[in-house]
Structure 1
Amino acid sequence: MSEDIKSYTISIYTENNIGLLNRVSAIFQRRHINIESLTTSQSEIEGVNRFVIVVNICEDQAKKIVGQFEKQIEVIKAYYHTEDQTIFTESCMFKIKSELLFEEPQIQNIIKESNTRIVTVNKEFFVLEKSGRRHEIEALRRDLNVFGIMQFVRSGRIAVTKDEMKITEMLDAFNN
């Protein structure tokens, strides 16, 4: 068993119950594992939520954590995947002073070259939105930081697997 530390995306399909987030984070806390990113949303299945959690751990830890999640009553199924096994992205938004949009031609070049979208513009500020890999977002942040960023926010990872997870078939079989 390799003890190589890698970035793993852990997907947990759950019922939507109060307090589950605390129990999910406690599993990482007990093992002294830092969560790099956490996103939760409705899944492709009606009434089922999905956590997408990114952690840097070894595969043995990933297996144990997935096993711990599956012992939770509300957890339907948990999986772990390497970056090579997933297609993933993050989103971010930047709020910047409006005057810079018109006075700094370099900002317009940065927007074009980075495939960034202008969400809104008013007299005081404009807002940019970018989706992509973490390194692309960080590069854009470095480029814009020179001009001053009023606000910045980045989402957690959202991901789908390259291989089918068969969660829908599993639930259909369970419900029938």
Structure 2
Amino acid sequence: MKKQRFTISVYSENNVGLLNRISGIFLKRHINVESLNVSKSEIENVSKFTIVVNTTEDWTRKIVAQIEKQIEVIKAFYHTDDETIFQESALFKIASHLLFDERQIQNIIKESNSQIVTVSRDFFVLAKTGRRHEIDEMHDQLEPFGIMQFVRSGRIAVTKSEMPITTLLEDFYQDK
């Protein structure tokens, strides 16, 4: 089987230690987590983990099955990139004088559809939301000018198809 990128969505109760146990599942199988984001979900008191891995579908299926064995996990799903709509966000901190002295910086901002978040005497901060390759491209364009700080979020994603999670949760909470 060939490796490909999968987005794993895990719906869970918000309990201490779950992230550690989930990461242990990947560690035991020597599978690197490319991206991780945890946030509240569309359902009250339910967290959503969005995990990106590059592995085979067989391994992904086994990982999801192991994750679902965790007591706090309500349900886990996996999807390919074609089955999801996804984005990442990044912040770039750049020396302020470049904003005014380098015309190319202004062109990069305009062409990348990024936003200036703040400007101070010493630095300005750009925000960029998009696909990983778009953020990488902007990073490569800004790097020759000097990036003071850079940070990227994990992937956030929604599925193109309907997710049955609300129905599953109603059933889950009725059983409790």
Same fold (TM over 0.5): yes
Alignment of 1:13-162 (within 5 A): 13-162=11-160
TM score, norm. by length of structure 2: 0.98
Give 1:173 deviation, angstroms: 2.5
Residue identity in the other structure for 2:102: E
Residue identity in the other structure for 1:52: T
Deviation sequence 1:90-136 (CA, Å, 0-9, x none): 00000000000000011001100000000000100000000000000
**2:34 match: secondary structure:** strand
Residue identity in the other structure for 1:72: Q
1:7 matched residue in structure 2: 5
Deviation sequence 1:42-74 (CA, Å, 0-9, x none): 000000000000000101001101100111000
Give 1:174 deviation, angstroms: 2.7
Deviation sequence 1:122-164 (CA, Å, 0-9, x none): 1000000000000000000000001000000000000000011
Q: How many residues align?
A: 174
Residue identity in the other structure for 1:70: E
Identity %: 65
Residue identity in the other structure for 2:87: T
Residue ranges of structure 2 left out of the alignment (5+ in a row): none
| 4+ residue runs over 6 A deviation | none
Residue identity in the other structure for 1:33: I
TM score, norm. by length of structure 1: 0.98
For 1:68 and 1:12, locate their aligned partners in 2 and report how far apart those are by CA, in whole Å.
11
**2:145 match: secondary structure:** coil
**1:17 match: secondary structure:** coil
For 1:140 and 1:15, locate their aligned partners in 2 and report how far apart those are by CA, in whole Å.
37
Residue identity in the other structure for 1:93: L
CA contact under 8 A between 2:96 and 2:121: conserved in structure 1? yes
For 2:90 and 2:7, locate their aligned partners in 1 and report how far apart those are by CA, in whole Å.
19
Residue ranges of structure 1 left out of the alignment (5+ in a row): none
For 2:53 and 2:173, locate their aligned partners in 1 and report how far apart those are by CA, in whole Å.
32
For 2:104 and 2:68, locate their aligned partners in 1 and report how far apart those are by CA, in whole Å.
51
**1:146 match: secondary structure:** helix
Give 1:4 deviation, angstroms: 1.1
